[in-house]
Amino acid sequence: MGNFSELDMYLFGQATHYDIYKKLGAHPQIRRNKKGICFAVYAPHAEKVFVIGEFNEWNETKHEMERLEPEEAGIYELFIPGLGTGSLYKYLIITPDGRKLYKADPYANFAEVRPGTASRITDIEHFKWTDDVWMKKRASHGTMDHQPMSIYEVHPGSWMRHPGEDGDGGFYTYRELAKSLCSYVKKMGYTHIELMGISEYPFDGSWGYQVTGYYAPTSRYGKPEDFAWLVNYFHKNNIGVILDWVPAHFPKDAHGLAEFDGQALYEYADPRMGEHPDWGTKIFNYGNNQVKNFLIGSALMWIEHYHIDGLRVDAVASMLYLDYGKDAGQWIPNKYGENKNLEAIEFFKHINTLITGRNPGTVMIAEESTAWPMVTGPAPEGGLNFSFKWNMGWMHDFLDYMKLDPYFRKNNHNKMTFAMSYNNSEKYILVLSHDEVVHLKCSMINKMPGTGEDKFSNLKVGYAFMMGHPGKKLLFMGQEFAQLHEWSEKTELEWYLLDNPSHKSMQTFVKELLHIYKKYPAMYELDHEWNGFEWINANDADRSIFSFIRKSKDGKNCLLFVCNFTPVARDDYRVGVPVNKSYRLIFHSDDEKFQAEGTKRPLSYKAVKSECDGRDYSISYPLPGYGVAIFRFSY
């Protein structure tokens, strides 16, 4: 029978073979006391399959694979004695009508550096992990609901590059990136990084969202063990690692999954189900158990083999809706005549429950842009069981408001308060992601109204409001120091801007906010619960000022935020407070830390019996234009 047993075939056919990546693909093995490589591939429609590669000079007939019994299982296998790791290879698939297809291994753990498209034999089982402390702590959380999550979204190829080189030689390797990026992230105060474009992909311009290698860290930055080293390094420095993961679609590249064995296999056969007209990509067949197992196995490999702490699932809406991006006649309703993809719904319930159930403390994050109900709700109650959902509604309202001239903000005040009306319906992450700073959308700083320092002041108060608002946080790289140009995957970030005091001040401002976020449980403990947040004044539209409280479980070290979204100073600003106590100023935007001509403020503000904002007690504070003040107090 070989490496792939009858039990393997059964589990694969049920979509429950959770370590399928150890069976399919190319793996070192010993048979009859001989070391070699065992190849196994799923190609049920193929007439014949051959392994071709550097080791046989790409001979198309030398190494024919055996179709295992039962034949309907569609598994081909071949053990080649004496063969070691390192060689490039592909599968030559002969279709029943005589066509020859040269395919990369869908389960390969390593690939040739693009523009090459071959797979590379490797052994990923020998890395020595030393992140036990992190892994035990992660498991002890159970969920991340009450833990801090401030995520730095990073594209590895353009965060930083070696000087003087524009091509591939300029990339940081995984190990170089680990050291430089980890040092920066720790200094800034982020709790997690989220890496784009780690699963192997052929085209740089896709940023990693058109994947051909779901089981392979991209070879652009090094070997699989180098990627494992990166994850291990971050964990030893107490930083979590989240990956973008793309089960929504895949490209039509000839070496990839499209019509893998001569006809639709990984995709739906009917193009009305199996193709995205707008994206020019194929849609996975979520009704095929072997395809579901392919995706589930990929997710489990990243989480369990590479110790990844969570997956941000891209384009969830495109999976849930059969008519997503399609006109009438381009899609097929489900059996109830609706536009819901029932198979994708069940897939999400299965995989999300499985991942977080087997790996406590890990997260599954939905990039879902519609009002689909209960994305983070429990599966038994009809939810999809994601850990968190990107709050795209908040993001759009926030950016719409921030782009406005301050004079017109009073007429759009509700854009900044509306998200709290549905905050408890899901478990949210507030995001300002790469999608908001590409395709002529401008960088964050250039979305802001005004000129010069007004732009920086606007963005600072916006970031402070975001940090105080309930929900975990995500900020794309470069926006923490106000990168001027839109992001491009072709060049590194504009680090030279940090020589400019305004950009350096922005970075310091964000850094201070991130460290406050991590320090005070009030900022994250009760993100998704009604008793974790309270408006002091949500209706001060004429002055465009927002004041609110973030609460901790024990009522200690709660935080009062005041944010002024106009350039008008309020020297006699008074804000209502919940208790008759002293309020300690822990952060203010005109601090000397942030500007050369900063202002020293008293640190303590005693409440007085003076009605304001519907409360008996209040404090007075000189609030500057675009001013932010954060006060600490206890009930």
Domains detected in the chain: 6-120 (2.60.40.10), 392-425+427-499 (no CATH), 530-633 (2.60.40.1180)
Do residues 65 and 51 make contact, with C-beta atoms less than 8 angstroms apart? yes
- Burial of 608 from C-beta contacts in 10 A (0-12 / 13-18 / 19+): middle
- Among the options 8, 225, 259, 314, which is catalytic? 314
Whether 591 is catalytic: no
The percent of residues in the chain predicted with pLDDT above 90, rounded, is 96
Do residues 171 and 161 make contact, with C-beta atoms less than 8 angstroms apart? yes
Do residues 102 and 254 make contact, with C-beta atoms less than 8 angstroms apart? yes
Whose CA is closest to 55, among 86, 31, 22, 77? Answer: 86
Is the confidence at residue 1, as pLDDT, over 70? no
What average pLDDT does range 397-417 have in this prediction?
A: 98
What average pLDDT does range 535-540 have in this prediction?
A: 98
Is the confidence at residue 168, as pLDDT, over 90? no
What average pLDDT does range 470-479 have in this prediction?
A: 98
pLDDT-derived band at 161, boundaries 50, 70, 90: very high
Is the confidence at residue 169, as pLDDT, over 70? no
DSSP designation for 522: G
In whole angstroms, what separates CA 548 from the centre of its chain?
Answer: 29
Higher pLDDT, 169 or 547: 547
3-state secondary structure 240-295: EEEEEECCCCECCCCCCCCCCCCCCCCECCCHHHHEECCCCEECECCCCHHHHHHH
State both tokens at 212: 């051909």
What average pLDDT does range 514-542 have in this prediction?
A: 97
pLDDT-derived band at 165, boundaries 50, 70, 90: low
What average pLDDT does range 117-143 have in this prediction?
A: 97
Summarize pLDDT for 20-46 with one digit per residue, the tens.
Answer: 999 999 999 999 999 999 999 999 999
Strand order in the sheet with 34-42: 25-31, 34-42, 75-81, 66-67
Instruction: Return the number of other C-beta atoms located less than 10 Å from residue 434's C-beta.
Output: 21
State both tokens at 85: 């790791």
pLDDT-derived band at 163, boundaries 50, 70, 90: confident
Whether 540 is catalytic: no
Do residues 203 and 155 make contact, with C-beta atoms less than 8 angstroms apart? no
pLDDT-derived band at 598, boundaries 50, 70, 90: confident
- Among the options 259, 367, 436, 480, which is catalytic? 367
Instruction: Return the number of other C-beta atoms located less than 10 Å from residue 371's C-beta.
Output: 10
pLDDT-derived band at 514, boundaries 50, 70, 90: very high
Half-sphere exposure of 620 (CA within 13 A, CB side): 6
For 495, phi and psi rounded to 5 degrees? -65, -25
